[in-house]
Amino acid sequence: MLVFRLNFHYNTKVNIGILLSVKLGKGLYLMIMYLIQNRFNIELIELVFIFISYALVIFLALPVHEMAHAFTADRMGDSTARWSGRLTLNPFAHLDIVGTAMIFIFGFGYAKPVPVNPRNFKNYKAGMFMTSFAGPLSNLIMAFLSLLILRIVLLFNPAVLLIIILKILLQQFALINITLAVFNLLPIPPLDGYRIISNFLNPKTVYFIERYQWYITIGFFMIIATGRFSGLLSFITEFILTFFTKILVF
């Protein structure tokens, strides 16, 4: 799974006089009050929530994505991931030190690839397709669930401050997961999308791609660095996000 940075911009105005009507931990309470007092410092608010978004990616979205690969492979007949200790939600089983550091330094990074032996699948093509698609699908499910939680909370008319906090966190978490799903479904090695379409390519094409995979990957990241894909990714991501919100009647 590859992850990359999203830049968020907030324009949230909160009255300092709003009382915190829910029982939050002291640390979270102090952080929230500090943000309220500095509510016009957009850079500070953006920095805090980008950090929180990274933390959610590393400790929740990433392990769920990788475990989805491992679980599906296991169900399709390959126990390699299970015996490698990857059938778990423990983020430290999936983190790659360099890939994690890259998330904070460069804005994109990667996790340890889940070990899979396709020869163990009961059905090779079905096993590869389902295992590859399971990761992005898990991101879409997490996005939908986060919006569903927000919709349920809003039905109870909570305090204004709680609404603002949950909207920022849950909506951005949904946005991150949708973007990760879309990005990982691009048909470029080593992304999940390539593993999916490789089932439908002739062996010579697959051999050529995998022979020059390193060069293709480097070229792809160079294009990503130029921002050429940002418009397409944003369009698809916004379309899916709008579709989810319409289903949930926001």
Q: What is the pLDDT of residue 72?
A: 97
**Per-domain residue ranges of the chain:** 2-247
φ/ψ region of 180 (left if φ > 0, alpha if ψ in -120 to 50, else beta) reads alpha
- To the nearest whole percent, how much of the chain has pLDDT over 70? 77
> b/e per residue, 106-144, with b = 16+ CB within 10 A?
eebbbbbebebebeebeeeeebbbbbbbbbbbbbbebbb
What residues are labeled active site?
Answer: 66
pLDDT (tens digit per residue) in 124-163: 989 999 999 999 999 999 999 999 999 999 888 877 777 7
Mean pLDDT estimate for the chain: 79
- Residue 120: pLDDT band by 50, 70, 90 thresholds? very high
DSSP state, residue 108: E
Q: What pLDDT was estimated at residue 1?
A: 59
Core vs surface per residue 190-201: b (16+ CB within 10 A) or e:
bbbbbbbbbeee
